[in-house]
Amino acid sequence: MSIRYIRIMRKISVGATPGEKFLAKIFMGEAYDFNKIAEMIAETSAMSEGDIMSVLKQLEKVISWQLLMGHPVKLGMLGTFYPGISAKAVNTFEEVTPETIRRIYCRFRPSVWLNKELREAKKSIEELDVKGYQPKPVPPTGN
């Protein structure tokens, strides 16, 4: 398994050396939904795809409930989901109300194990022929 990437060109307008620059960008595949995940787990376990799908749906509900109650949710070696808020600062204690909360969000923090796996992942380039991606180098002209 390897992390797939493509090469792209970007116009950089800030910093010491602005201009056209090239960089690697992850080549994002299609998202895996519960159906695909249940199918993959069923292939490697004794449980049926329907049983796994039921467990995944319940996991989704329980994680949502816990996050909505303000509890972090740790998913084993994957990492932890944390609920959070962004709030407006006010001058007095009494001014802090639900209206001062700008947004509620969820963050995911990978575990030490997952971070290590990601750091050490193999990388492979995807050669694409798509406009805007992976521009071919222009050969120098001789004068």
Report pLDDT for 142. Answer: 56
In a domain, 55, yes or no: yes
Residue 124 domain flag: no
Inter-helix orientation angle 49-68/34-43, to 10° = 130
Q: What is the model's pTM?
A: 0.70
* Count: domains in the chain: 1
Containing domain of residue 40, as a range?
Answer: 32-69
Distance CA 99, CA 95 (A): 9
* Inside any domain, residue 53: yes
Q: How many helices (H) and strands (E) does the chain have?
A: 3, 6
The half-sphere exposure of 132 on its side-chain side, counting CA atoms within 13 A, is 2
Distance, CA of 67 to CA of 75 (rounded, Å): 13
Residue 105 in domain: no
**Residue 72, CA atoms < 13 Å, CB-side half-sphere:** 11
Q: Give a yes or no: residue 85 inside a domain.
A: no
97 is a domain residue: no
> How far, in Å, CA of 124 to CA of 41, rounded?
26
The tally of CA atoms less than 13 A away on the side-chain side of residue 105 is 7
Residue 100 lies in a domain: no
pLDDT of the residue at 131: 57
Per-residue confidence in pLDDT tens, the chain, 143 aa = 788 888 888 888 998 888 888 888 888 888 888 899 999 999 999 999 999 999 999 999 999 999 999 999 999 999 999 999 999 999 999 999 999 999 999 999 999 999 999 999 999 988 776 655 555 555 555 55
- With respect to residue 15, please indicate whether it lies within any of the assigned structural domains: no
